[in-house]
Every structure is written in C-alpha cells, then in structure tokens.
Amino acid sequence: MKLKLNNFDALIIVDLQNDFMPNGTLPVPDGDKIIPTLNSYIEMFYKAGNPVYFTRDWHPENHISFEGFGGIWPVHCVQNTEGAEFHKDLYIPPDNKFIISKGVKKEFDAYSGFQGTELNDLLKERGIKRIFVGGVATDYCVKNTVLGGLNLGYQVFVLEDGIKGVDVNRGDVERALDLMLEKGAVIINKGEIK
Ligand code: VGL
Ligand code: ZN
C-alpha cells in the first residue's frame, strides 16, 4: 500500500518509557530497538505539520495494577520517577504539548491512551480522522489504544515496524494483531507512507 499524509493524520507513540525498556521493571524485550524507527516517524509527522501525541503510564506508587495492591504487574512508571520518563533517545519535537498521562488515579488502570484521558478531545479539536499508532506493548497498551481509536470512529494504522510486545502467554502478540485487524485496523510499515 502507498499512502500520503494529509492534514487529518496524527501519530500516537505509546509508552516509550524507561520501565518498559530492557533495563526497566516491566521490560518489553527489544523495546528500545524500535526507537530509531519511531524517531523517523516522529520526524516525518513533525515536518509535515502533523501532531504527535506521546502517551505515558503515570501511576501513583500504590497503584491498583501493582502486585501487592491488587494487580499483576511489578511496580512501574511511578509518577515523577526516572522509570516513568521517556527513553532518552526518543525524539520529542520542540514545543510538543501533547503528553497524555494514563492510569493516574490509584483506583483505575488504563491500557488505552483514550481511557480517562483528554486524547479524544485533542484529536477532535484538530479534526483528526486517521491515527497511526506505534510503541509498546503490542499486546497491552498498543492493542487497547488501537481498539479504542477504532471504537471512537478513527481510521487506525498500526506501525508494524514500530511496535514491540511482551508475549506473557506465547501467542499474545499474534492474537493482538489478529484482533486489531479483525476490528478494522490496517497494518503498515514506514516505506508505505510518503
Ligand atoms: C502496560 C502493563 C501495565 C503497557 C502498562 O504500556 O503496555 N502494560 N501497564
Ligand atoms: Zn501500567
């Protein structure tokens, strides 16, 4: 497929934070390997004048998703800690105002960048119709952000060369991709956009 960016396209980069990188507390294997590719997507959108939104997990230290507090995950992405910071090599365009924090309240978790956030309003405000989603983890926050976007009526493209998953259960990543496709997402790679 060949596809040309238009004014109604936005890029969404999901959770490129230290705790999800190989040295973090909830590592996504090779999560850092997609950074150069994501940076080239970010640059492409930025140069074309299209908005880039960065989601982040932003949990209080006693968050409900953590082991010992009712959840299944090791402590990760605690607000204002180094683990919650974006990877130092991730390119954040100058003056970027679009940081979307999720899972910010103790009692609620959110795998989707749309859940409990202002993301949909921000996209609507700019008349965005198509969203391009990359980041981690394919089988959790990427999947749920993609499904959330489809539910809200966006056309959603999944950046195949810009995602990594955890595969807690073998096959999770493949099943996640199948589900996204089944719900109407389109899977593309960088060479297909101009
Ligand atoms: C995520 C597990 C827990 C993710 C967030 O970003 O995919 N996974 N919190
Ligand atoms: Zn989390």
pLDDT computed for residue 96 by the predictor: 86
Locate 111 and state its tokens: 């795998």
Q: Give the neighbor-by-neighbor strand order of the sheet with 9-14.
A: 99-102, 52-57, 9-14, 130-136, 155-164, 186-188
φ/ψ (deg, to 5) at 113: -65, -10
pLDDT computed for residue 123 by the predictor: 98
pLDDT computed for residue 179 by the predictor: 98
Tokens 């090599």 map to which residue?
Answer: 89
Q: Express each pLDDT in 4-58 by its tens digit.
A: 999 999 999 999 999 999 999 999 999 999 999 999 999 999 999 999 999 999 9
Minimal-distance CA residue to ligand 1 atom 8: 140
Locate 29 and state its tokens: 């294997």
CA 144 to ligand 1: nearest atom: 7
pLDDT computed for residue 95 by the predictor: 87
The 10 Å Cβ neighbour count of residue 8 is 15
Asked if the peptide bond before residue 84 counts as cis, ω within 30 degrees of 0, the response is: no
pLDDT computed for residue 145 by the predictor: 98
Residue 77 is a catalytic residue: no
pTM of the model: 0.98
Pocket test for ligand 1, best of 17, 20, 66 (most atoms within 8 A of CB): 20
Q: Express each pLDDT in 135-167 by its tens digit.
A: 999 999 999 999 999 999 999 999 999 999 999
Return the amino acid letter for 92. I
Residue 102 is a catalytic residue: yes
pLDDT computed for residue 194 by the predictor: 85
pLDDT computed for residue 150 by the predictor: 98
Give residue 39 CA to ligand 2 midpoint distance, Å.
23
Minimal-distance CA residue to ligand 1 atom 2: 140
The reply to whether ligand 1 has any atom less than 6 angstroms from the CB of 110 is: no
pLDDT computed for residue 183 by the predictor: 98
Q: Is the pLDDT of residue 98 over 90?
A: yes
Q: Is the pLDDT of residue 1 over 90?
A: no
pLDDT computed for residue 160 by the predictor: 98
Give residue 154 CA to ligand 1 midpoint distance, Å.
22
Q: Express each pLDDT in 55-93 by its tens digit.
A: 999 999 999 999 999 999 999 999 999 999 999 999 999
